[in-house]
Each structure stands twice: as C-alpha cells, then as structure tokens.
Amino acid sequence: MYQVALLGIGTVGSSIYELLQKEISDEFNVKHVLIRSREKHKNFEKQELLTTDFKDIEQDQDIDIVIEVIGGIHPAREYIEDSLRKKRHVVTANKELLSEYGEELIQLAQEMGVSLLFEASVGGAIPVIDPMMNELLVNDISKISGIMNGTTNFILSKMKNSNLEFEEALKLAQELGYAEQNPDADILGYDAARKLAILSSLAYHQTIKMQDMKVEGITKVSISDIEWADKMGYEIKMVAVSSKENGCISATVAPFMIKKENPLSLVVDSYNAIAMDCNNAGSLMFMGRGAGKPTGSAIATNLMDIISSKPSLSSMVNRAPKEEAMPIIEKKYHYYVKVDFQDQEEKQKLEKLSDLGELVDQEESLVMITEEMSCDELQAYIDRIKGIAAVEKVSAIRILDQDTMA
C-alpha cells in the first residue's frame, strides 16, 4: 500500500480524493490532506487527515507519493522540491509552475531517482503527455496545434451560437462556472500559453516559455468578425500552435480563423483538442474535457504509472536527443483585416489603393486578407491605413492556413 499526501482539495483535489477512496483504494492510502483553512472544510468526512501545516507531511517518513493540486508558483514549488529531495514521487497538475520551472523540477526528479508526472497539467483528462513520451517515442513531432482552453472556447461558441458580444458571453461563462471571477489567465491566453509551453518543451526537447511566444487573448473578437469568418468558410477559435520548421521554433496563442474543413473547427463549448504532426505516426488528434472533475482521471493514471513498471517520464526526457538549441522566431500569418469607417468618403480613400491585400468585401466596411506578416508588419499596415483615412475601428485576426488536423 502506497502512502499518499494530497496537497489541496479543491476542484481537482476532490476529484482525485474520490478516486483514491474508491477505484484505486486497494493500492493507495491517503494519509494527509493539506488545506489553507479548516473552517472551509468542517464537513470533510475524515477530519483527522486535514492539516494546514506542510511540516506534518514533510516529517512523516511513511509518505511515498505527494500529489500537488494547490496551484500557483509559491509555495507549490517549495513543496514539490522538498518532496523530490526526500525521494518521494510527485504528481502535479500545476501548469503555471511547470511552464516556468519544469526543466529544473524534472532534473531534480532525475537526480533523486523518483518520478515527477504531470499528465493533468495539459488538457485535463485528455491523455496527451503520456502518449507523447511513450507511444510516440519513435516519432519526431514537428507541429502541435490545439484548443487548450475550455473557457475561451465556450465564450467563442456562445458568441457565435447565441449571438452574444464578448462581454455578455464572458458574464454567462462566469454565471455557469466556466470562467473564474478573475478570468484574465483564460481570456488573455496565458493559460493556453502555459500548456503550449509544456507540450512544446517536451516535443522539441528544448525549454520553451510563455515569454518566447506571441500571446494574444480573445477580448477584441466581435460578433461581426465571427459572422465574417462564417461567410468566408472559417470558424474563430483561440488556437495554441507551435512548430519546428527549417531549424527554428515558433509558438503562438491567439484567436485564429480556422477553415471549417479542419477538425479543430468542430471543437465546441468547453471541450479541448490537441493535434500533432509526427514523422512516423502522421497527424493525431486528442480530444476531451480539458478541465473540472474529469482531471482526477489523469492524476489517477499517473499514480498507477508510478506503481507499475512503466518507465517514468523523467527517464524518458533523459533519452531525448541533446541537440543545439534552436532559435525561437515569430511565424508570419495571413490576416483577416476589417476596417470600419466614419463615412463613405473616408472608405473611398482606401479603395483606391491596390496593395492592401485581397479585397473580400467593400459594401460597408473594407474586408481584406493580407499577405503573410509579423505583428510589427501588421501594426505598420494598420498605421498606414489610419494615416490615409479616418477609421472607426480596425479588426485583425490571424488565419490558420491549413485544413489538416495539426
């Protein structure tokens, strides 16, 4: 019987606690549950397990496995490091911590000869890290693209299907519990960027952090953009995409127009999907519930991995070829650009220009598809438009130029 300490018993903690009491109770015994305040947990069935002091866990010689589901950088980082140094296996769902300190923590686990497993940190219940590190071991992954944040996918789906503007859809998501009261990490793209950082670092054998990416949220997407996308044969989704091309890596999280032929365009509401291009296995896509109660399943799988003879993720990472670090560059995309004018005279000033891109419509607004450009080039393009005509609003959204999965 393995002795387990559970750090945190919130959304994910309570779902894994339940599994530890039922489905996997023969193998594991929960010895401690770390919380912040007892008051909140006075109805918890086994009060004797609760502690607000990590020392109770640190000093208990019996503990074999620590499950960290408190979230954030501090004190989660210190608790995980302490546990690894005591040669305890650690399972965590903490994408924020792993995207920033994953390399150091994996190295520490390797030095200590224990496992550090984190399937739940990306895509909730969807198995994606384990397939990458095991089943796809003899593959070179050249591209990852996906819908990695259920909150923004829910908001964009509601905007389209219920004709709601962003603020209204966000309010609805908060009322239904799909969005936090402070939704910034989701709507500004940070949550998806952290997950993309974890997957890209594993896929390309090099640390990729959020700071290396172009990250843009969905706050500027309007119903009008969604309607335009629909007319042109696209869906707007917040996509996290990274690739390894010509010896360079690029990574972007932003609202994208995706062709309706691309299976990612069919992923709606709070679902997540992650697609990969592999040299031997071809294109693969993993889809499912990316958050909430099902996340406990991913943690339970990691617990079973620890007690089975399956090689640990730490030893897999060790096997990765040590290559020269590849430069991380910004990938250029075609943009959909829609310009709204104060009056028709102003619009005519721009219509005379022939080098703005492919003109899609010029009834009320000007809608164009630009050539491939970087963020700076797009800004210069918009500045040029604003210098020529008095515009009311300019919207710009990247186009994901692919109809395959990844």
Q: Report the chain's terminal Cα–Cα distance, integer Å.
A: 42
| Minimum CB distance to ligand NAP smaller for 5 or for 339 | 5
39 touches 50 (CB < 8 A): no
Cβ 143 to ligand NAP shortest distance, Å: 23
Q: If you write DSSP's letter for every residue of 251-295 in order, what string do you get?
A: EEEEEEEEETTSGGGG--TTEEEEEEEETTTEEEEEEEE-SSTTH
Minimum distance from residue 152 beta carbon to ligand NAP (Å): 14
Strand partners, 31: none
Query: Between 9 and 198, whose beta carbon lies closer to ligand NAP?
Result: 9
**In this complex, which beta carbon is closest to ligand NAP, that of residue 255 or of residue 290?**
290
Closest residue to ligand NAP in the complex (CB): 10
- What the block records as the tokens of 230 is 């629909």
As a residue count, the chain comes to 406
Three-state DSSP class for residue 151? helix
CB of 379 to ligand NAP, least distance (A): 33
Least distance to ligand NAP from the beta carbon of 41, Å? 6
Nearer to ligand NAP, 13 or 217 (CB): 13
Closest CA to 102 of 237, 195, 32: 195
Least distance between ligand NAP and beta carbon 174 (Å): 15
Beta bridge partners of 253: 215, 240
Measured from the CB atom, is 64 or 186 closer to ligand NAP? 186
Other CB atoms within a 10 A radius of the CB of residue 90 amount to 27
Query: 203 is written with which tokens?
Result: 């896929």
Distance of alpha carbon 62 from the chain centroid: 35
Q: Is 195 a residue of the active site?
A: yes
User: What residues make contact with ligand NAP under the rule CB under 6 A?
Assistant: 8-13, 34-37, 40, 69-71, 75, 93-95, 120-121, 124, 291-292, 295
CB of 395: closest distance to ligand NAP in angstroms? 31
Ranges of beta strands (E only) in 18-157 are: 28-34, 50-51, 65-68, 89-92, 116-117, 141-147
The packing angle between helices 76-85 and 95-112, to 10°, is 10
Q: How far apart are CA 49 and CA 7, in angstroms?
A: 11
Residue 293 CB, shortest distance to ligand NAP, in Å, is 8
Task: Answer whether 187's CB lies under 8 Å from 231's CB.
Answer: no
Nearer to ligand NAP, 292 or 311 (CB): 292
The catalytically annotated residue of 195, 237, 244, 338 is 195
Tokens of 373: 């450009």
Choose between 104 and 343: whose C-beta lies nearer to ligand NAP.
104
Could you tell me where the DSSP H helices lie in 31-116? 55-58, 76-85, 95-112
Residue 70 DSSP code: S
Which residues are marked as active site? 195
